[in-house]
Chains A and B, each alone.
Chain A
């Protein structure tokens, strides 16, 4: 399928995502202007503040977006009964984008005003202008070109960064990019990246035109410039008001998922089962990056999502690795109830552990069955690991120690890219997920964890206690779903989406029909 085919078949969705993207960019840039320009002006009046303020804006730009999201989601800040900080969705994405957009705007406002010819400023003061009059009648108009140049940079940064907003369910063209990365689908990646790039180019050209037109006394007269600003400001107000009220609608069940295929399928299965069996309305908040789903569940922005026992034990509770599946389940269930008021319901049945994978041909040629086998022949091998595997307690360091691995080279890349890298012989061993559909697609072989290094990762829906108390029918449904999914079944579902390019929604529906749960 070519990109154009994709666009013509999905034009409705494409337009919706483009508008979501534009919404994020316009609102964030607008708020950044409303904060950044006054701050820049303040710096020209109180130069002592320029170090701390510009320093802060500088640091904000270097914070990785997922880390920033993780910090923002648990916050719970209200202004006049309207939540302005925290949670998942557009609100948090906008706050993060504003923080990224601030630096160029503050800096250019400061520079633009500082660079106004001192003789002109003296002329204004000598004619009896107050500081305020000097600012609005002389300094700001003359600095406007430079300020617009800053807004231009900020806007382009926002267009790019807004693609990551899909990681916290804020929508936008990032959805295509994340889906594409997950499914190893270049067309999908381009479907998100190309329109985003076009928006960036269009915004750059448009603001470049405004910048030139505004150069003193050009095509746009000062009066109409004022009109332009007023128009832009009111547009922002409308966008902003709409944006702030967007949140989790009351009286609905919010089902979440992390940002990989299996999670989206599981999210769909939960969502459709709830819709079909209980008649409750469901909001889907999928594709949440990192541990953001957990943060959102704790913050009350989600009611349930599927978590893995090992992930909860190590990444969230920060405990030492344990190997007994029953013990792990009991432990996380108890600690979640105590610490977060969250309930672990019935395990779905399968275990999604790390799978140490090699190419089928290598396994046959070298007779590899277990990880220990591989450790003996791996001196010349290159390994490809996701960021997750490299950083977690049950990840690479312990793995290499337990089995005595010394790779020639370790390449850290996005998990979804490692399968293809292995198949294309760019690396020789990867740590994938045992349920990944790509394992069979690329003919990869999973090596047995013969020293029992990896803890169990049983998939279990985790829900807010309050939600389960309020809707007893939900608890009953989750019990019914317990034990319905084997590893093989999960691998098939994953392959249907990743390999056969089918919609998670359809795949989930068929599964529920097979199990007699649907409708």
Chain B
């Protein structure tokens, strides 16, 4: 595994709030180029904190996070963020901008020519399975939850960043749409070969998408490895998630 080139590295990283409450303790982790690492855990386990450390929405209180071999605190945060796509739950779309404008935000910040932005937005809409002519000029509130999530993914891909962070992007969707969009995302993933860090509390989703899973509990990483490792682990938290996974599998089949 250490032979793979690292896109993102965590070295003894801790993060504590100003009041001293520790959200993340001594995390050591490497995200390899082109893999999809799923951060799995319950609410409050430190998944989102880990993610925000990567694009420098927060700085570590101890240790070091490196992106492309350079510590995040040495990166200009604006430059760093523009080469990292970011998808969050459906609220992440700007409600006052059209679909096309939402997708074009980062290219516009980067100073692309308007024609090129328009072409890119249309290409991405097609890529995420939406009809460009129908959707380009709509506003987010005129879309269904699934459509909004597709736009969110398209927006994160707009400036072709090598790394993409996804924070429970499909959390608010109904189970059927969710299953569909996961499958689509999986093929997109294989097609694009981006490095992705994906936060979820849904073990099923983790199994569909993950190259490797990092299981977090109370700000500590208790397991890191391919999905099968999680099913074999004896750690109580891993077994709890594994149980969930088995339940969801069996409830889907006839009794």
Contact = CB atoms under 8 A, between A and B. Distances in A.
Interface of A: 117, 119-120, 122-130, 133, 137-138, 141-142, 216-217, 222
Tier of interface size on chain B: 20 to 34
A141 B97 CA distance: 10
Contact of B91 (A119, A133, A141): A119
Given A216-B139, A222-B96, 8 more contacts: A123-B92, A126-B57, A126-B81, A126-B88, A126-B165, A127-B109, A128-B106, A142-B94
B89 interface: yes
A125 B81 contact: yes
B42 interface: no
B13 to A, nearest CB: 19
A222 B96 CA distance: 8
Nearest to B101: A222
User: Which 7 A-B residue pairings sit nearest by Cβ, starting from the closest?
Assistant: A128-B81, A128-B82, A126-B86, A216-B96, A123-B92, A217-B139, A119-B91
5 contacts: A122-B57, A123-B91, A126-B81, A128-B78, A216-B95
B141 interface: yes
A87 to B, nearest CB: 44
B55 interface: yes
Nearest to A141: B96
Interface string B130-164: 00000000010100000000000001000000000
Contacts of A130: 78
A136 to B, nearest CB: 12
Chain A residues touching B, majority SS: helix
B79 interface: yes
A123 B96 contact: no
A210 B84 CA distance: 38
B98 interface: yes
Interface string B67-93: 000000000011111101010110111
Nearest to A119: B91
Given A126-B57, A127-B81, A217-B139, A133 B95 contact: no
B223 interface: no
B105 interface: yes
Contacts of A124: 94
Nearest to A120: B91
Contacts of A120: 91-92, 94-95
B82, B97, B165 — most chain A CB neighbours (10 Å) = B97
Nearest to A222: B96
A223 B57 CA distance: 30
A217 B89 contact: no
A129 B79 CA distance: 10
A217 B88 contact: no
Which of A122, A138, A142 has the most CB atoms of chain B within a 10 A radius of its CB? A122
